[in-house]
């Protein structure tokens, strides 16, 4: 079941809503809910009923927690791709993420996307990125950059051949994933792709 609250329906365009619904359908299609439940059982269930031992086990499970959250952030990028396939254009992906970052307060044309993307340059060179290691979702700017890579990939145009122009240079899937890895991994310190 996918729930859209009224403020989202009022403030998002039909294309943006398609990207949101497509994203959630991506989670359903890939059974991410089941993996997320298993992950939370592994993380939060470990030693939950053993007072005193709980803290030690929580510390021991830290590498597992980091690995699962890394997977979770990659899963979000996968589902952003599903959202992009459903709405069929990158502008709505960017404006959706921009609106989510501002809590829906700013509309698409009020966001300076170039300034927003510059946040990545600050993020990747700052120790702040280490705090992202336990985040379930990538920072919004990382998601926008990964979506921009996807829109230049062969995978996107395999689903949308009607949008393909003859002179386009498109990345194969392997190159797409390599380019997105820099945005998904918070430990890497690579600049934005050209
Ligand atoms: Zn998601």
Which phi and psi (to 5°) does residue 153 adopt?
-105, 160
Determine contact, residues 145/117, Cβ cutoff 8 Å.
yes
Q: What percent of the chain has pLDDT over 70?
A: 82
Element (H, E) at 74: helix 62-87
Estimate the crossing angle of helix 62-87 against helix 32-44, to 10 degrees.
160
State yes or no: pLDDT of 46 exceeds 80.
Answer: no
**172: pLDDT confidence band, cut at 50, 70 and 90?**
very high
Give the least confident one: 16-30, 43-57, 90-104: 43-57
How remote is the CA of residue 145 from the centroid of ligand 1, in Å?
16
Tell me: the pLDDT tens digits for 6-29? 988 988 999 999 999 999 999 999
pLDDT of residue 194: 58
How remote is the CA of residue 167 from the centroid of ligand 1, in Å?
33
State yes or no: pLDDT of 48 exceeds 70.
Answer: no
Domain ranges of the chain: 13-184
pLDDT of residue 38: 76
DSSP-derived 3-state class of residue 31: coil
Q: Whole-angstrom Cα distance, residue 118 to residue 114?
A: 6
CA-to-CA dists, residue 104 to 21, 73, 96, angstroms: 16, 22, 9
How remote is the CA of residue 147 from the centroid of ligand 1, in Å?
14
Determine contact, residues 67/136, Cβ cutoff 8 Å.
no
pLDDT of residue 173: 93
How remote is the CA of residue 7 from the centroid of ligand 1, in Å?
19
Determine contact, residues 2/22, Cβ cutoff 8 Å.
no
How remote is the CA of residue 76 from the centroid of ligand 1, in Å?
5
pTM for this entry: 0.83
Tell me: the pLDDT tens digits for 118-170? 888 887 777 777 778 878 888 888 888 899 899 899 999 999 999 888 888 89
**61: pLDDT confidence band, cut at 50, 70 and 90?**
confident
Give the least confident one: 36-45, 103-112, 122-131, 148-157: 103-112
How remote is the CA of residue 172 from the centroid of ligand 1, in Å?
24
- Residue in 1, 22, 17 with CA at minimum distance from that of residue 104: 17
DSSP-derived 3-state class of residue 1: coil
More confident site: 186 or 78 = 78
Determine contact, residues 152/180, Cβ cutoff 8 Å.
no
How remote is the CA of residue 105 from the centroid of ligand 1, in Å?
20
Determine contact, residues 110/31, Cβ cutoff 8 Å.
no
How remote is the CA of residue 173 from the centroid of ligand 1, in Å?
21
DSSP-derived 3-state class of residue 99: helix
């Amino acid at each position: 079941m996918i729930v859209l609250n009224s403020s989202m329906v009022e403030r998002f365009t039909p294309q943006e809503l398609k990207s949101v619904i497509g994203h959630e359908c991506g989670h359903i299609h890939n059974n991410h809910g089941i993996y997320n439940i298993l992950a939370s059982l592994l993380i939060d269930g470990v030693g939950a009923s053993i007072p005193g031992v709980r803290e030690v086990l929580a510390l021991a499970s830290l590498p597992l927690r980091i690995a699962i959250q890394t997977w979770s952030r990659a899963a979000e990028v996968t589902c952003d791709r599903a959202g992009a396939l459903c709405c069929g254009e990158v502008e709505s992906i960017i404006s959706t993420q921009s609106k989510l970052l501002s809590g829906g307060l700013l509309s698409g044309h009020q966001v300076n996307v170039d300034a927003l993307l510059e946040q990545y340059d600050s993020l990747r060179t700052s120790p702040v990125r280490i705090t992202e290691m336990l985040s379930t979702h990538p920072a919004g700017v990382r998601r926008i950059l990964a979506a921009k890579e996807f829109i230049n990939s062969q995978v996107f145009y395999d689903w949308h051949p009607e949008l393909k122009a003859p002179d386009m240079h498109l990345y194969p899937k392997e190159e797409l994933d390599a380019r997105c890895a820099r945005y998904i991994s918070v430990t890497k310190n690579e600049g934005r792709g050209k």
